[in-house]
Amino acid sequence: MSSIAFGGLATGLDTGTIVAQLLELKKQPIYRLQERKKGFQAEISALGTLKSKLAALQEAARKLDTSGEFSALKASSSDEDILQVSANSKAAPGSYTVEVLSRAVAQKDMSQGYDSKLDSVGSGTLSITIDGLTHELELVGYNNLESLAGLINDNVDGVGASVLYDGSETGGYRLVLSGGEAGSAGAFSADFSGLSGGVPPVLSTTTAAADAQLLIDDVAVSASSNRVEDAVSGLTFDLRDQEPGRQIFVEVSRDNEGIAELVKGLVDAYNNVFSYVKEQTGKEGSLRDNPTLRSVASRLESMFSQPLESGLGSIGTFSLVGVTRGEGRLLKFDEEDFAEALRANFGSVRDLFVEREGNEGKMPQLDDLIKSLTDNTGGVFKISTDLLNRKIRNADDTISRYERSAESYKLTLERKFTAMEMMVAQLQAQGNYLGTMVF
């Protein structure tokens, strides 16, 4: 240890430095506890990160746990400028020819001309009826063409009102009512006969509401809108344009690429968990000595490596569908092997993953495992976090005791050194006095 030079008032000692250094020695247990507390807090934070990565894995598993999700279909149209098509779980693989004869159109009515949009339309009662529902509106006082349009827009759903100006000096302003939906379902009627004191609008239909007309496999189909959802089970046709005489080919097939993408997402989420496990078990990892990390890793590995028991299909392990163990506890996903397994035995591949009557696949089991691990009452994360929080509280209590002890120690040292300085000063004064005496 290097030598320390002190300078003081009476003794020549730097008593302040001595007290500070002795106090630092006294505080060493405090500093060690503070470091341990930081470690506990880092563990809690790291457990939270691990839990969030498990939640992402759980979400990936839930995208593959039912027959409907696993048996996703895709639909394609040979001309999407005219017809777009989508499929849901009720659809079945197949092909169709579709011809869009005419799209559904919305009704549009127009009034006679007014010289100004501020011309009075009178006051009283008007009504607008849409799909059997009548909306009655009351006009009180002075009402012009523009305010009438605003009143309709504010109070009636399904009909839009506007004022059209064609540029003519006289009769150039007209009230226009437009159906909010194309097709017969959006047809409406307006009655302004209850207005008096002005010039009520008299409407003429410029475009009548009309349903869409199409042929599906040469069968005539009428649809009340341009979004046709009930013509073929599970398919939705979106009519973008019309072209009589042009046949459009619709193909519905199993979306094997989409299923493979979901499985890849599952593997990626699993690997994300184990990349973090590797990081945390390293020399600098906050969880390198935490049993929760080991438990989670062990149970996840077992879930993916052990064969499925009591499954209905002939495939019981992930390795048979292209999901195999790679380096560093990670998984590899071979899309070609997975696609081949789907083509050869779709039902058994599905039953490896999903839950359906008589079959509980791996994905529901994985979901249940993560639920149990992350349960807020008895899961391992809850237990471990509670234990760490208790350790933090105990450390805080011990630190407080040590700090009180250190403060008491400091006061004691200061009193002793002060007393010593005073004694030395007195002795020096006495020596000086004796030195001045003549014997």
Say what the pLDDT of residue 410 is: 80
Q: What is the mean pLDDT of the chain?
A: 89
Supply angle C-alpha 319, 325, 328, rounded to 5.
Answer: 175
Residue identified by tokens 């105990």 is 394
Say what the pLDDT of residue 3 is: 36
Beta strand pairing call for 248-254 and 212-216: unpaired
> For the chain, percent helix, then strand, then coil, each to nearest 5?
45, 25, 30
Q: Over 70: is that where the pLDDT of 5 sits? A: no
pLDDT bin (cut points 50, 70, 90) of residue 251 is very high
Say what the pLDDT of residue 35 is: 84
Q: Do residues 308 and 361 touch, judged by C-beta distance below 8 A?
A: yes
Say what the pLDDT of residue 177 is: 97
pLDDT bin (cut points 50, 70, 90) of residue 82 is very high
Sort 429 into a burial class: Cβ within 10 Å, 0-12 / 13-18 / 19+.
Answer: exposed
- Give the rounded percent of residues in the chain with a pLDDT score beyond 90: 61
**Tens of pLDDT along 196-242?**
999 999 999 999 999 999 999 999 999 988 999 989 999 999 999 99
For the ranges 22-26, 155-159, 286-290, the one whose mean pLDDT is highest:
155-159
pLDDT bin (cut points 50, 70, 90) of residue 7 is very low
**Tens of pLDDT along 319-335?**
999 999 988 899 999 99
pLDDT bin (cut points 50, 70, 90) of residue 56 is very high
Q: Do residues 351 and 359 touch, judged by C-beta distance below 8 A?
A: yes
The one-character DSSP state at 184 is G
SS3 32: helix
Could you tell me the domains of the chain?
35-69+257-383 (no CATH), 73-104+211-254 (no CATH), 108-207 (2.60.40)
Q: What is the mean pLDDT of residues 302-326?
A: 89
- Give the rounded percent of residues in the chain with a pLDDT score beyond 70: 96
Say what the pLDDT of residue 13 is: 67
Beta strand pairing call for 94-102 and 212-216: antiparallel
HSE-CB for 56 with a 13 A CA cutoff: 15
The DSSP string of 68-130 is: HHHT-EEEEES-TTTEEEEE-TT--SEEEEEEEEE--B--EEE---BS-TT-B--EEEEEEEE
Q: Over 90: is that where the pLDDT of 409 sits? A: no
CA nearest to 241, candidates 83, 75, 79, 76: 83
298, two tokens: 């062990």
Supply angle C-alpha 39, 23, 393, rounded to 5.
Answer: 30
**Tens of pLDDT along 362-378?**
999 999 999 999 998 88
Say what the pLDDT of residue 12 is: 60
- Distance CA(391)–CA(336), nearest Å, equals 51
157 contact partners, CB below 8 Å, separation of at least 6: 130, 180
CA nearest to 303, candidates 373, 213, 236, 393: 373
Helix and strand numbers (H, E) in the chain are 8, 19
Say what the pLDDT of residue 18 is: 78
The DSSP string of 373-401 is: HH-TTTSHHHHHHHHHHHHHHHHHHHHHH
The DSSP string of 293-345 is: HHHHHHHHHHHHHSPPSS-SSS--SGGGGTEEE-GGG-EEE-HHHHHHHHHHH
- Comparing 194 with 359, which gets the higher pLDDT? 194
